[in-house]
């Protein structure tokens, strides 16, 4: 997509393309470098040069970017005596990529550019989105949307602004501005040079009223909350509040439905060959090194058949689990008994739920799930994930029956389907998949697969995942990333949106109560003409019959 995106950026009036360099993408393991595929940094820079644009390279080492771990590789966390983003010798010594000398960094280096955030944000594919609780979209309502389409009327309106600014360039770079009052809430900023070139910006700060002003013996009508640009200090060429742009509607249109096969993930046993034992609760990242979102914690509780506490063959108790986040699923004897999620600002979570234990051996399996590692904050190398305890069983009368925190726990990294690579063509053939009426709906820890032919045309594509809960998606073995269709946007939406007046982040909110992300970008370059493999791993329980492949189309309004 890069050449077309760069050309649209240039056509829109940009001079410079600024991009991050993601350390964890280029050095996933110490001394092992990767600059291929969408991490082909040199190839990207050459394409920018070919388009006649400059590059401003943000080499890091830290980039934030709502990117997993802020761009730091996970191995950096485990360098002895490591402290992130400070005058720390291990941190400075670890800055690699052939440049990160402690005298070279671009963490706060934006130079003197006037930046857009974002002109095009794109998609964080795979497990690269950080946060936590960010899925894949990095769209930010940008001028070029996530799918590579121009967003109107914003794109055309700001393209016209850029042209007007260019007309003012000789004056802007040759003179300092002089501010002149034109009224109570009106003023002019004038760039007047000795050579005779001149540019002026006439501002009306009143959010409600049109005003006539006099500037250099001429009358100008200023719209509310607007700036009028005069490239020659005489004739207006642009007004910020006067939007003249093509009338287009962008919409999603169904392109394909699917017929699904399914495979149900097994809850691991305590003697699983790929498991190991510890007599304490272990922090998740220390175990997984972020190789997977998933870590199983499993222990056993033995209830004697003659225990006086048993009622009707079972023992109702309250299970308490305290976790550093981000998500948790509780299984008792292989059956899902509850879920819990942390919040965006505070990923820590607490699960308290009634469970029923039976006479004999009871298996308590806790699936701890990360949803992107922190990307911002003080010393986030010290942040934890996973179940740190306590884990307790209480009788319903509130009396502590057992504290399991120091019991023998079995650990398994990842889920079985990841180990089997069910998302790949080869791996998907290694198990027997259910089909037809045997395909379950609303069942947790279920893998779904289908094959499909690529839709004709060049329209961008996306998956509508609104019928699903939470999980991950793969196309032809490549990770689209995490989806979380049941994670709803919160806030106070306002149907009567006006941008006049001072801006604040809660102004003109839309989509409150709806899925924070419904559509998930599928790059056409990842597809074959025929026989594409789509694999979905559903954690919560969703209905795959509602998944659709959608076209993103631009429709011109009549």
Topology of the domain covering 248-263+420-556:
Jelly Rolls (2.60.120)
Distances (CA, A) of 182 to 119, 171, 341: 34, 21, 55
Lowest mean pLDDT among 53-67, 194-208, 309-323: 309-323
Per-residue pLDDT, averaged over 127-134, amounts to 87
How far, in Å, CA of 223 to CA of 243, rounded?
A: 12
Whether 389 contacts 359, CB under 8 Å:
no
Tens-place pLDDT, residues 449-472? 999 999 999 999 999 999 999 999
Q: How many alpha carbons lie under 13 Å from residue 368 in its C-beta half-sphere?
A: 31
Given the candidates 3.30.565.10, 2.60.120.260, 1.10.390.10, 3.30.420.480, the CATH classification of the domain at 266-414 is 2.60.120.260
DSSP code of residue 459 = -
Count, residues in the chain: 558
| Percent residues over pLDDT 90 in the chain | 73
pLDDT at 110: 58
| Section 275-302 average pLDDT | 96
Domains 248-263+420-556 and 266-414 share a fold: yes
Closest CA to 537 of 365, 335, 367, 289: 367
pLDDT on residue 108: 62
What is the predicted pLDDT for the residue at 99? 46
- Whole-number pLDDT of residue 492: 82
d(CA 467, CA 500) in angstroms, rounded, equals 38
- Assign 3-class secondary structure to 285-338: HHHHCCCCCEEEEEEEEEECCCCCCCECCEEEEEEEEEECCCEEEEEECCEEEE
- The 10s digit of each residue's pLDDT in 404-435 is 999 999 999 999 999 999 999 999 999 999 99
Residue 344: pLDDT band with limits 50, 70, 90: low
Q: Does position 96 have pLDDT exceeding 90, yes or no?
A: no
Range with the poorest average pLDDT among 87-101, 362-376, 432-446, 497-511: 87-101
> What tens digit of pLDDT does each residue of 42-80 get?
999 999 999 999 999 888 888 888 999 999 999 999 999
Helix (H) or strand (E) holding 163: helix 154-167
The rounded Cα 31 to chain-centroid distance in angstroms is 27
* Prior bond of 390 cis (ω within 30°): yes
> Is-above-0.95 flag for pTM?
no
Model confidence at 91: pLDDT above 90:
no
pLDDT(5) > 60:
yes
Yes or no: domain 1-116 corresponds to CATH 2.40.30.10: no
Is the confidence at residue 503, as pLDDT, over 90? no
Domain regions of the chain by residue span: 1-116, 158-239, 248-263+420-556, 266-414
Is a pLDDT exceeding 70 seen at residue 119? Answer: yes
Q: Which residues contact 333 (CB under 8 A, 6 or more apart)?
A: 358, 362, 363
């Amino acid at each position: 997509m890069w050449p077309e995106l760069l050309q649209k950026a240039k056509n829109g009036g940009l001079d410079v393309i600024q991009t991050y360099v993601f350390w964890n993408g280029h050095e996933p393991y110490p001394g092992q470098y990767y600059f291929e595929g969408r991490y082909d940094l040199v190839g990207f820079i050459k394409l920018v040069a070919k388009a006649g644009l400059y590059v401003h390279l943000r080499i890091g080492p830290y980039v934030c970017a709502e990117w997993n771990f802020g761009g730091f590789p996970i191995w950096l966390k485990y360098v002895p005596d490591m402290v992130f983003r400070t005058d720390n010798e291990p941190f400075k010594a670890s800055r690699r990529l052939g440049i990160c000398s402690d005298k070279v960094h671009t963490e706060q280096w934006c130079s003197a550019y006037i930046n857009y955030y974002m002109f095009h944000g794109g998609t964080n594919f795979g497990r690269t989105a950080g946060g936590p609780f960010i899925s894949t979209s990095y769209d930010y309502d940008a001028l070029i949307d996530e799918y590579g389409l121009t967003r109107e009327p914003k794109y055309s309106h700001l393209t016209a602004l850029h042209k007007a600014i260019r007309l003012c360039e000789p004056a802007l770079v040759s003179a300092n501005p002089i501010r002149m009052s034109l009224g109570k809430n009106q003023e002019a900023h004038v760039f007047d040079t000795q050579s005779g070139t001149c540019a002026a910006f006439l501002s009306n700060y009143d959010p409600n009223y049109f005003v006539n002003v006099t500037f250099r013996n001429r009358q100008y009508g200023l719209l509310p909350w607007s700036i009028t640009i005069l490239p020659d200090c005489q004739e207006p060429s642009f007004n910020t509040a006067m939007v003249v742009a093509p009338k287009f509607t962008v919409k999603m249109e169904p392109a394909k439905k699917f017929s699904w096969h399914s495979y149900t993930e097994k809850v691991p046993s305590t003697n699983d060959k790929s498991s190991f034992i510890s007599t304490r609760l272990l922090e998740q990242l220390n175990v997984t090194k972020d190789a997977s979102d998933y870590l199983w914690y499993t222990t056993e509780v033995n209830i004697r058949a003659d225990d006086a506490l048993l009622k009707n063959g079972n023992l109702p108790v309250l299970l308490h689990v305290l976790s550093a986040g981000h998500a948790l699923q509780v299984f008792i004897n292989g059956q899902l008994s509850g879920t819990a999620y942390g919040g965006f600002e505070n990923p820590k979570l607490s699960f308290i739920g009634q469970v029923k234990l039976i006479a004999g051996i009871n298996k308590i399996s806790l699936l701890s799930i990360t949803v992107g590692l922190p990307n911002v904050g003080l010393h986030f190398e010290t942040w934890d994930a996973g179940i740190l305890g306590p884990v307790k069983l209480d009788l319903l009368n509130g009396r502590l029956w057992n504290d399991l925190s120091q019991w023998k726990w079995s650990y398994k990294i990842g889920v079985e389907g990841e180990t089997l690579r069910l998302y790949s063509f080869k791996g998907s053939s290694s198990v027997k998949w259910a089909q037809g009426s045997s395909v379950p709906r609303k069942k947790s820890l279920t893998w779904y697969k289908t094959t499909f032919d690529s839709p004709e045309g060049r329209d961008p594509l996306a998956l509508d995942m609104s019928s699903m809960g939470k999980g991950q998606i793969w196309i032809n073995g490549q990770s689209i990333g995490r989806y979380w269709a049941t994670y709803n946007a919160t806030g106070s939406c306002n149907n009567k949106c006006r941008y006049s007046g001072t801006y604040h982040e809660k102004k003109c909110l839309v989509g409150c109560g709806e899925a924070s992300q419904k559509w998930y970008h599928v790059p056409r370059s990842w597809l074959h003409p025929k026989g594409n493999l789509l694999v979905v791993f559903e954690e919560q329980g969703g209905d795959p019959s509602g998944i659709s492949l959608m076209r993103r189309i631009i429709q011109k309004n009549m």
